[in-house]
Amino acid sequence: MKIGVFDSGIGGKAVAEELRRLLPHAEILFVSDHGHVPYGGRPRYEIIQLTKAAIQPLLAAACDVIVIACNTATTNVIQVLRAEYRQQKFIGLEPMVKPAAAETKTGKIAVLATPATLQSPRYQQLKDEWAHYVTVFEPDCSIWAGLIENGRSDEIPIKETVAPLLANGVDVIVLGCTHYHWIKELVQKVAGPSVTILEPTNAIRNRIVDITTDYPSAALLQ
């Protein structure tokens, strides 16, 4: 089985590496758009144009499924891709609002994501549908993806961002941008063991197994 993985930058690489580990028999192709990352501060029309251009090699490679390993592209573009490339299966990654709302005991969750994700109608819809009864904090993380992309994670104000969330009683933090997967442990360390940090790689692996029905899961997972 051939799985394409796309992200604007190195966030998707974390997802691709994890999928390689979880699905050792699959062929995993990863493409990114190093020339235009970060996408998160761009208007929707640009994110659409850039994503469509960047995934062309994956479409040409006839992947069984293409994982849009970018919350920013998923929340802004995936409907356009599904409408335009009808024969292609796509799996998107979007902030795990539903599991976070189900898991919180304090009724307070935080979503760390790019401005374009937080401003998208799809994200608003997720909150309206699943999180209308919890308080959702959305701290400013607008510089995070660029810093991580450029190997400057140590400049990210993690403590300054997470401490006010803890003070407000947040007990679940959603990593709503795949770039942040690289700093998951740092966020967990600052947040402490009583806070749950959610990111979707395992769920994506299960979804791949579900939708690629031509391949018996045993063959993929051995």
Catalytic residues: 70, 177
**Closest Cα to residue 4, out of 39, 54, 49?**
54
Alpha carbons 114 and 72: distance in angstroms, whole number: 7
Residues touching ligand DGL, count (CB under 6 A): 17
**Closest Cα to residue 75, out of 30, 129, 118, 15?**
118
Least Cβ distance, residue 45 to ligand DGL (angstroms): 16
Least Cβ distance, residue 221 to ligand DGL (angstroms): 26
Least Cβ distance, residue 77 to ligand DGL (angstroms): 11
Single out the residue of 58, 131, 177, 197 in contact with ligand DGL (rule: CB under 6 A).
177
Residue located via tokens 């400049």: 155
Q: For ligand DGL, which residue has the nearest CB?
A: 40
Q: Which of residues 128-167 bind ligand DGL (CB under 6 A)?
A: 145
Alpha carbons 156 and 149: distance in angstroms, whole number: 12
Check if the beta carbon of residue 100 is closer than 8 Å to that of residue 174: yes
Type of residue at 193: P
The alpha carbons of the chain give a radius of gyration, in whole angstroms, of 17
Type of residue at 66: I
114 binds ligand DGL (CB under 6 A): yes
38 binds ligand DGL (CB under 6 A): yes
178 binds ligand DGL (CB under 6 A): yes
- Closest to ligand DGL by CB, 40 or 139: 40
72 binds ligand DGL (CB under 6 A): yes
Considering only the stretches 49-57, 67-75, 132-140, 204-212, report the one whose residues sit in contact with ligand DGL under the rule CB under 6 A: 67-75
11 binds ligand DGL (CB under 6 A): yes
191 binds ligand DGL (CB under 6 A): no
76 binds ligand DGL (CB under 6 A): no
First to last CA, the chain: 14
Considering only the stretches 156-164, 176-184, 191-199, 211-219, report the one whose residues sit in contact with ligand DGL under the rule CB under 6 A: 176-184
Token pair, residue 80, equals 């356009």
Three-state SS annotation for 10-47: CHHHHHHHHHHHHCCCCEEEEECCCCCCCCCCCCHHHH
Peptide bond into 38 cis (omega under 30): yes
Residues binding ligand DGL (CB under 6 A)? 7-9, 11, 37-40, 70-72, 114, 117, 145, 177-179
